[in-house]
Amino acid sequence: MVKEKNPAVILMGKQATDNDNNQTAQMLAAQLDWPQATFASKIEFTDDKANVTRETDTGEEVLAIPLPCVITTDLRLNEPRFIPLPGIIKARSKPLTKLERQTTDQPRVEVLTYTAPATRSAGKKVATVDELIAELKSKGALA
């Protein structure tokens, strides 16, 4: 699809809300041999490059990457604009192209089982800070 459309930028979400993998965009960038900027909180385009502010373990960094490139979005990139109802109805009449998925024979990572994690239950209510300190000390959580 990338070869057909020849885009300058591929913008993707950072992780799917179901499998939480956080892999697809980085793998795509590698296979295209394009530079990447993941977890973007701000993007500025110039003629031939993008300056991307991205979230890191220690704060932020700004990467300048030449186009074409792959960028994934983080939470604070943008506030989606409000779309009035006529706009939503209008959007419905736009052409929608459906592509067939190319599947491989056997998945390279296969899910065997789904289980519910151990749940936590509500503990004890304490009335005062002193009582809290005493409880935490008795559990060895405070020196």
Partner 1 sequence: MNLLLIAFDAEDAVTCAAFGQASNHSFDILQLTGSPATHLGAGKVISLDLPSLPPADYFAAALKLIAEPYDRVAAVSSMRGKDALPRLAGLLDWPMISDITEIVDEKTFVRPILAGSILTKVQLNHPKAFLTFRPAGFPAPNLGGESQVESVNPEWIGSSKRLSESLSEGGRPDLATAKVVVSGGRPLKDAETFEKIVGGLADALGGAVGATRAAVDSGIAANELQVGQTGKIVAPDLYIAAGISGSTQHMAGIKDSKIIVAINTDGDAPIFDIADYGLVADLFDALPELTQKLQK
Residues in the chain: 143
Under the binding rule (CB under 8 A), the answer on residue 73 touching partner 1 is: no
User: What residue has token string 């900027």?
Assistant: 37
| Residue in 38, 40, 71, 77 binding partner 1, rule: CB under 8 A | 38
Q: In this complex, which beta carbon is closest to partner 1, that of residue 59 or of residue 95?
A: 59
Q: Which of 7, 6, 25 is nearest to 15 (CA)?
A: 25
> Is 15:28 a contact under the CB 8 Å cutoff?
no
Q: Give the binding range for partner 1 (CB under 8 A) out of 4-12, 74-82, 91-99.
A: 74-82
Going by their DSSP bridges, the two strands 69-73 and 36-45 should be labelled as parallel
Binding residue for partner 1, selected from 2, 8, 76, 90, defined by CB under 8 A: 76
Is residue 115 part of the contact set for partner 1 (CB under 8 A)? yes
**Cα separations in angstroms, 20 against 23, 52, 93, 106:** 9, 23, 32, 21
CB contact at 8 A, 45 and 28: no
| Binding segment toward partner 1, per CB under 8 A, in 3-11, 81-89, 90-98, 103-111 | 103-111
Binding site residues, partner 1, CB under 8 A = 14-15, 17-31, 35-39, 41, 51, 55-66, 74-76, 106-117, 120-130, 132-133, 135-136, 139, 141-142
